[in-house]
Structure 1
Amino acid sequence: MQNWLSGSLNLLQTKLAAEKQCVQGSNVSETNRRSATFFQLLLAIAFSGVLSGCNSVKITPSSNELFQDSMFRAPTAKINPDEVFALSDEMSTYLRKEQVKSNILRNGLKQGLFKMISNNKSMRIEYDAEMTRNAAQTFSSRSGNCLSLVILTAAFAKKLELQVQFQKVVQDNSWSQSDNLMFAVGHVNVNLSKKATSNIGSYDGSQALIVDFMPSENLQNQKTIPIDEKTILAMYMNNRAAEQLSQNQIDEAYWYAKEAIKQDPSYLSAYNTLGVVYRRHNNLHQAEQAFREILKYDTNNLIALANLAELLQKSGRLEESLVVTNTLHQLQPVAPFYYFDLGKKALQNDHPVEAINLIKKELDRDPYYHEFHLWLALSYIRLGNLNEAKKELALAKENSITHSSFDFYTSKMERLNASLSNSH
């Protein structure tokens, strides 16, 4: 079963002890089996950018009901939101370099900053979804996800007195998974403009410049929704909570999830993350409260519904769980990774042709997820079709989102190339 969280790169699921759990017994219909993959714990994160659930509805949670600090160990380090956009000494020194100042004088503030981040060899940021970093960490490591890039850009832009407008990109969520977690990935970027002279607080989008990890040709018809800095801070905290959960650091995850809600109470993804924290901590009553808090404001929230259904099943409330499961199936008949999971099982049962057909169905829904291409390559290898396997491994490498996965696929391709050379 799957539980859902929405988030900034968007949503996380944690698989339970059983790879797939669903309501047991004769009440499970064949149609419900297809939606059974909904039931893993889902979290929402912002690896590429933005979490879902950025509602304008005013939400004022009761801390006495939602937050149970006494259940968790104190955080190992203070969580300080002021550090997210703070410039390090290294960043300030960089801005004072003559080549940087001359670049800004030559190209103007916006273009100068853009070129500094995207084209300058000494600072070019590489995409890496391993961890959501604050501005100083992103600058130091020269790597980060889309949210990290947005934060770094905004930090420099503020120092240069540019106007900053954060944006959530409206798109279908893509999905990824890591160990026992599943992520629904959204996207954010940042628009830069000069501060309007007539109104310092206003935003002039007519001369705006978008800074985004996405290739420029993909930005042309992009639909976006303006979001506040408080939402970016909530996304950052929510991502960090999800990342802590992926490392089984449940106590640390609690404090980040709490801080996310504190930064923006209308950011529903953070409530889902908090619910998953409680669920992993075996505080089922508190987890249910968090999931139901989301459904008060968004009755069709797939992530909250899926997590709630799993929790009800875990609690032995099977009839209630089945009702929620049926609602999920009506909203989304085929859950994320449904065909992929079937494809993996087919390959494990030595049915590579069936595996290829199933995994290709998943690729039709998300052609860029690297793990789909990996398993397709493995299926072709099982058939002895090494040339097709090589193509799929190349696509897996091209679409990898962390340095470690890139290195993994590079190694696999080298071994496959060696096999192809030996076969000739």
Structure 2
Amino acid sequence: MIGWNALVLIAATSVAPPPPPVPPTPAQVMAIPADAKAQLRERVTSTTNSPEKRLQRLVELVFEPSGMGLQYDTEATLTVAETWQQRRANCLSFTLMFVALAREVGLDADMQEVGQVVTWYQEQGLIFNAGHVNVGMRMDGRQATLDLDSNVLYDRRGPRVISDQRALAHFYNNRGAEQLAVRDHAAARRYFEMALQMDPRFVPAWSNLGVLDARLDDLPAASRDFDIALSINRDHAPSLHNATNLYQRMGDSRRAAQLHKRLERSRSRDPFYQFLLGVNAERVGDYTGAVAHYRDAVRLHGTAHQFHFGLARAYFLTGNNRQAEREMTKARALGGNDRMRAIYQSKLDAIRRLSAQHAAH
């Protein structure tokens, strides 16, 4: 009731506030609508018995304008039916829908989770966790990964198959974070609790529940949430960051210092964090600092072409064209697809032209 005056409260007594939205059940999240099943029969199962061709037909149905014409939308955490109807999806919604459709046409598909990507974002001083999932396909002894976002940077281990329950934990956790962002705290709690029903060891949900309890000034509950998250994964950076802030707020400087030390150790070993530091340094014109951070990222994860590209860019901005050319060459060699390699080649050619012009003078 904070911020409401008595007059408004009296005027509104006859109208109860709407209850927080009830999270869909797991069956409702994964349900394929009737018109989608009809399209699958018409365009996939009735056309071929070959698994390879069925996969090709399914990809065409999802992405071609004559089918769904699916569009990428980072904020679209939707059920399978909602994704089908709205023709938009983030990586999670795409994964849930594609796996459901693939299984419907007899293909062997599972959800996969990337253990570490650039997995967190900051809002109003709080760190939220945003994991990443994609589709794993198996066919005639071969394995393939389908990912809606070609720009995602994986860790060294790459994607790993997860249970449907854990994938659903991602869904409910994402929905909870969306509700938290608009300050619908009751709805956010329902979604986080559903995530933990799906997977009681799902660290991002414990961490985000801690953020919620901290916002509601229930500091003991927030402390318990973060403690559980860190008992499952002691190096979980968002939990360490938020717990450090919480204990500072509670006046427990000793515990805050311990957690901050662990956080710094975790960050020093995290190539993704070093990469983000490089990006931030580059944005403010600290190109020497950017070089240092990008070099740390490359040292920790040397096969990521994005890291070498960042380092090449930073070297170029410091005037070190020789090192920029070397790193751009590595980025091109590691580039994930023909399009990226072509982009890197064009930038490499530009650096070489500039170096030749400087040499001529």
- Does TM, normalized by the shorter one, top 0.5? yes
Percent identical pairs in the alignment equals 24
1:89 counterpart letter in structure 2: A
Shift in CA distance, 248/193, structure 1 to aligned 2, threshold 3 Å: same
In structure 1, what is the equivalent of residue 238 of structure 2?
303
Structure 1 gap ranges (5+): 1-72, 195-204, 348-352, 381-424
Tell me the distance in 1 between the aligned counterparts of 2:36 and 2:60: 16
Select the residue among 316, 334, 350 that pairs with 2:251: 316
Aligned counterpart, 1:187: 132
Aligned length: 280
Q: Indicate the structure with greater helix content.
A: 2
Find the aligned partners of 2:191 and 2:209 in 1 and give their Cα distance. 9
Tell me what 2:194 maps to: 259
Q: Provide the C-alpha distance between the structure 1 equivalents of 2:109 and 2:36, rounded to a whole number of angstroms.
A: 18
For the pair 1:140 / 2:75, whether they are aligned, the reply is: no
TM-score (norm 2): 0.65
1:116 to 50, 61, 64: 61
Q: SS of the residue aligned with 1:329? A: helix
Cα displacement (A) at 1:311 = 0.4
Q: Distance in 1 between matches of 2:291 and 2:131?
A: 23
Which is greater in Rg? 2
Unpaired runs of 5+ in structure 2?
1-17, 298-303, 318-361
How much has 1:367 moved relative to structure 2?
8.9
In 2, Cα distance between equivalents of 1:362 and 1:132: 33
CA 1:329–1:222: 2 relative to 1, 3 Å: closer
1:92 alignment partner in structure 2: 37
- The more displaced of 328-337 and 264-273 is 328-337
- RMSD between aligned alpha carbons? 3.7
After superposition, give the CA deviation of every residue in 1:196-236 in whole Å (9 maximum; x if it has no partner).
xxxxxxxxx714443322449x99x9733221001001111
Conserved 8 A contact 1:235-1:260: yes
Work out the CA distance in 2 between the residues paired with 1:78 and 1:174: 24
CA distances 1:325-348 after superposition (whole Å, capped 9, x unpaired): 12222222496755666777xx6x
Gap change, CA 1:358 and 1:113, over 3 Å in 2: same
Between the aligned partners of 2:227 and 2:128, the Cα distance in structure 1 is 20
1:76 maps to which of 6, 21, 27: 21
User: TM-score, normalised to structure 1's length?
Assistant: 0.56
Q: Which of the numbers 216, 240, 243 marks the counterpart of 1:281?
A: 216
1:279–1:183 Cα change, 3 Å: closer
Structure 1 position 360, deviation (Å):
7.1
Paired with 1:208 and 1:281, the residues of 2 have a C-alpha distance of 46
One-letter code aligned to 1:224: P
The alpha-carbon deviation at position 155 of structure 1 amounts to 1.6
Does the 8 Å contact 2:113/2:161 carry over to 1? yes
Q: In the alignment, is the contact (CA less than 8 A) between 1:168 and 1:188 conserved in 2?
A: yes
Report if aligned partners of 2:244, 2:260 keep a CA contact under 8 Å in 1.
Answer: yes
Tell me which amino acid in the other structure corresponds to 2:216.
H
Query: How big is the shift at 1:281?
Result: 1.4
1:246 Cα deviation after fit: 1.7
Change (3 A) 1:280 1:362: farther
Query: In the alignment, residue 194 of structure 2 is paired with which amino acid?
Result: E
What residue is the counterpart of 1:326 in the other structure? 261
Contact kept, 8 Å, 1:165 with 1:190, in 2: the verdict is yes
Compute the displacement of 1:184 (Å): 4.9
Change in CA separation of 1:339 and 1:108 when aligned onto 2, cut-off 3 Å? closer
Contact 1:135/1:151 (<8 A) preserved? yes
Change in Cα spacing, 1:109 to 1:133, as seen in structure 2 (3 Å) is same
Q: Which has the higher contact order (CA 8 A, sep 6+)?
A: 1
